[in-house]
């Protein structure tokens, strides 16, 4: 958050699904998933959820600038079950991104290890010696006047993975305050949205899927 002014959106909590074990929420862009350090960073999706569901438990996070589907557990059993799924990469997440330029080809996969860029935290970068494995499958959905709309499926869950992988592809995500430059950065928000999440329900293990409408 260094150098950034935190102005969380004043929008009502958007619930996509609720049952006895899980809560599916549509996170807006510009809102922290969990509180940061300091009172000025206390407003976050977790706090807003727990104001209505005091027993809700964290399972995963989305970046401040990313919008879309997030799951919260409503029991300790559900939290353990979901945490294990994320750890073993048994969930399937699909993101929609708008990126700068016309992407060549229609689909592919990026396999580049990532780690934190310590002098420039929280930025991440490719590090073939010290980085952790990171893979992203991508597919072009539409080319739109010098930009490309893409569907991205992360096979790993590294910090800023999609943002750095798109940069390395030569097509930074529009509006990215960390990795885009010039005209590519001049957008009102990061054009990255967690469109869908598929997971096994903690009660019975059957697969369920949830979607959030892309706001851009």
Q: How far is CA 134 from CA 101, 106, 109, 137, in A?
A: 23, 21, 10, 10
Query: Where are the alpha helices (H) located in the chain, listed in sequence order?
Result: 45-52, 76-87, 161-169
The answer to whether the CB of 51 falls within 8 A of the CB of 194 is: no
- Asked if 63 is an active-site residue, the reply is yes
User: Can you tell me the distance from the alpha carbon of 53 to that of 45, in angstroms, rounded to the nearest whole number?
Assistant: 12
The answer to whether the CB of 194 falls within 8 A of the CB of 95 is: yes
User: Can you tell me the distance from the alpha carbon of 113 to that of 89, in angstroms, rounded to the nearest whole number?
Assistant: 17
Using the structure block, give the residue that is written with the tokens 């469109």.
195
Which member of 26, 63, 65, 176 is catalytic? 63
Q: Which residues are catalytic?
A: 63
């Amino acid at each position: 958050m260094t150098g950034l002014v935190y102005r969380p959106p004043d929008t009502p909590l958007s619930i996509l699904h609720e049952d006895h074990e899980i809560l599916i929420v549509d996170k807006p862009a510009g809102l922290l998933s969990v509180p940061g350090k300091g009172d000025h960073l206390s407003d976050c999706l977790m706090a807003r959820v727990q104001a209505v569901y005091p027993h809700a438990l964290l399972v995963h996070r989305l970046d401040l600038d990313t919008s879309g589907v997030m799951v919260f557990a409503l029991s300790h059993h559900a939290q353990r079950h979901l945490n294990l799924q994320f750890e073993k990469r048994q969930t399937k997440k699909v993101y929609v991104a708008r990126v700068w330029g016309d992407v060549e080809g229609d689909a592919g996969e990026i396999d580049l290890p990532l780690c934190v860029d310590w002098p420039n935290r929280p930025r991440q970068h490719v590090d073939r010696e010290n980085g952790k494995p990171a893979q992203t499958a991508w597919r072009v959905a539409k080319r739109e006047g010098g930009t490309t709309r893409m569907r991205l499926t992360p096979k790993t869950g590294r910090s800023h993975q999609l943002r750095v992988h798109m940069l390395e592809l030569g097509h930074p995500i529009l509006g990215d305050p960390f990795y885009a430059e010039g005209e590519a950065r001049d957008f009102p928000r990061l054009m990255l949205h967690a469109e869908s999440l598929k997971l096994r329900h903690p009660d019975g293990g059957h697969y369920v899927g949830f979607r959030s409408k892309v706001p851009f």
